[in-house]
Each structure stands twice: as structure tokens, then as C-alpha cells.
């Protein structure tokens, strides 16, 4: 298995977790947080890219 697929999935999952946790914390503190949405978007893109790359190896 290629290391890029594993790394992409791990990185995407970490970015999603960081983004969601920061959104929840900012909601509790009533602070506006724009960068968390970008982190969630990059996490989704990393996961989608890893999935597409895994299909390329089939």
C-alpha cells in the first residue's frame, strides 16, 4: 500500500478533528472563527484525494 494514501487519510482525519473541536469551543465562547471552516475544508479535500488515489492503484 502506498504511504501517500495512509498519510492523506491520517492528515485529513486530524484536520477534521481539529476544525470541529475548534468550532465547538468557539461556539461555547461565542467567538467567531473563520479559519476552522478552512481547516475542515482542507481535511475533506485530503480525504477525498486519498480515496481517489487509492482507486488509481486498483
Instruction: Please spell the DSSP secondary structure of the chain, one letter per residue.
Output: --HHHHHHHHHHHHHHHHHHHHHHHHHHHT---SHHHHHHHHHHHHHHHHHHHHHHT-
Please give the C-alpha separations between residue 10 and each of 29, 33, 50, in angstroms, as whole numbers.
Answer: 29, 24, 10
CA dist 36 and 38 (Å) reads 5
Per-residue model confidence as pLDDT tens for the chain (58 residues): 688 889 999 999 999 999 999 999 999 998 888 899 999 999 999 999 999 988 888 7
Work out how many domains the chain is built from and give that number. Answer: 1
> Domain span at residue 51?
3-56
This prediction's pTM? 0.85
Amino acid at each position: 500500500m502506498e504511504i501517500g494514501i495512509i498519510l492523506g487519510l491520517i492528515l485529513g482525519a486530524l484536520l477534521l478533528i481539529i476544525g470541529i473541536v475548534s468550532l465547538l469551543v468557539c461556539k461555547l465562547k461565542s467567538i467567531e472563527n473563520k479559519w476552522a471552516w478552512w481547516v475542515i475544508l482542507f481535511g475533506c479535500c485530503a480525504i477525498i484525494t486519498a480515496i481517489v488515489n487509492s482507486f488509481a492503484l486498483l
